[in-house]
Homo-oligomer: A and B are copies of this chain.
Amino acid sequence: MKISTKGRYALRVMIDLALHDTGEFIALRDISDRQGITVKYLEQIVTTLNKAGYLRSMRGNNGGHRLAKKPEEYRVGDILRIMEGNLSPVECLIGNEVNCPKAEECATLSFWKGLDKVVNDYVDQYTLADLVDQTKAISAYDYSI
């Protein structure tokens, strides 16, 4: 019942980009220094975020990444679902799809559906802006964390 490092790190990357947003592109090297995640691993994470349209990226010297939208326009749930594939607690239930031949007879399915719903509803309550505000409140002037 765990969120993987990809999902957790992706949130930290997005928060980092929001906190250090100057309109310029931010290199993975900078994020790596602040977050303690290797550039190589960050590449994988931002590639996924980029393909989802969540980032603007630029190659070459002075290249890097920046948010494609304002922090309040990202739902935390969307970021997590992109990174994790889905947040479903059971394989037989992905999104609103039910993938099980015995679904009609399955007594626990509705229980799992309910769990799936509370999880997704929770993560969709929050936007990136909420996490950014929380970071500012906690760390005051040190946005490295």
Contacting A90 at CB < 8 Å: which of B8, B107, B110, B134? B8
Contacting A1 at CB < 8 Å: which of B12, B87, B111, B139? B87
Copies of this chain in the oligomer: 2
Q: Which of A46-54, A56-64, A67-75, A117-125 contacts B (4 or more CB under 8 A)?
A: A117-125
Cβ–Cβ contact B114 & A122, under 8 A: yes
Please, what's the 1-or-0 string for A119-145, where 1 marks a CB less than 8 Å from any CB in chain B?
101110010001110110011001001
Cβ–Cβ contact A2 & B119, under 8 A: no
Interface range for A: 35 or more
Subset of 16 A-B contacts with CB under 8 Å? A1-B2, A1-B3, A1-B87, A1-B88, A1-B119, A3-B90, A15-B107, A106-B138, A107-B131, A107-B139, A111-B126, A111-B130, A111-B131, A111-B134, A118-B121, A118-B122
